[in-house]
Amino acid sequence: MIRRTILYALLLTLCANTAAIADGQHDFDFQFGTWKVHVSRLVHPLTGSKTWVQYDGTHVVQKVWNGRANLGVLEIDGPSGHIEGMSLRLYNPQSHQWSANFSNSKNGILGQPSIGGFRNGRGVFYDQESYNGRAIYVRSITSNITANSYRDEQAFSADGAKTWEVNWIATYTRVRTTPRS
């Protein structure tokens, strides 16, 4: 009887730990810290344009609510100018999904949140927005995640998500901090 009770307790513990890991609330933990970022941005999305501009800068991500939220600050510069952006990611424990909200210093408006989550080390998020007066779908993908790098990609669709045009590619490399002595 004691053996069965111990086995039952171990199984309950294992199931509880598996549920906590699989619920997604720490999917963005890899992002905490300071990153060097290289951004490629399509100048005129959904026009057939093939002109891309390049930016370089930093992205600093802070943990909020024990990892169930995070705040990122992006500062990049390139020949086309300076971009300052902010991201706020929030975890919904009921739906087990994340909302990713973005703003830039140019307009100061928190945009439509993208909703989604991670599966097999890849995050996919969707929303619907208005772009140049037309309704579009937006897809964001976070992939190639390692301890020291990852990639974000944004794409637009103007045909009901049948085809996608990538318009933003960001590659991140972790900035190593030296321990204080």
Q: Transcribe 26-86 into DSSP letters.
A: TTTGGG-EEEEEEEEEESSTTTT---EEEEEEEEEEEEEGGGTEEEEEEEEEETTEEEEEE
111, 77, 146, 97: CA torsion to nearest 10: 0
pLDDT at 8: 37
pLDDT at 177: 74
Please check whether residue 146 lies inside any domain of the structure.
yes
Please check whether residue 4 lies inside any domain of the structure.
no
Please check whether residue 152 lies inside any domain of the structure.
yes
CA distances from 79 to 29, 55, 179 (A): 32, 8, 35
Angle at 97 between CA 149 and CA 141, to 5 degrees: 35
Please check whether residue 21 lies inside any domain of the structure.
no
Whole-model pTM: value is 0.82
Please check whether residue 14 lies inside any domain of the structure.
no
pLDDT at 18: 37
pLDDT at 178: 67
Please check whether residue 15 lies inside any domain of the structure.
no
Tell me the residue range of the domain where 88 lies: 26-174
Assign residue 64 the CATH number of its domain: 2.40.128.20
pLDDT at 7: 33
pLDDT at 14: 35
Residues 66, 179 contacting (CB under 8 angstroms): no
Please check whether residue 135 lies inside any domain of the structure.
yes
Please check whether residue 18 lies inside any domain of the structure.
no
Number of folded domains in the chain?
1
Chunked into runs of 10 residues, the chain (181 residues) has average pLDDT values of 40 38 81 96 95 97 93 95 96 94 91 94 96 95 96 97 97 84 58
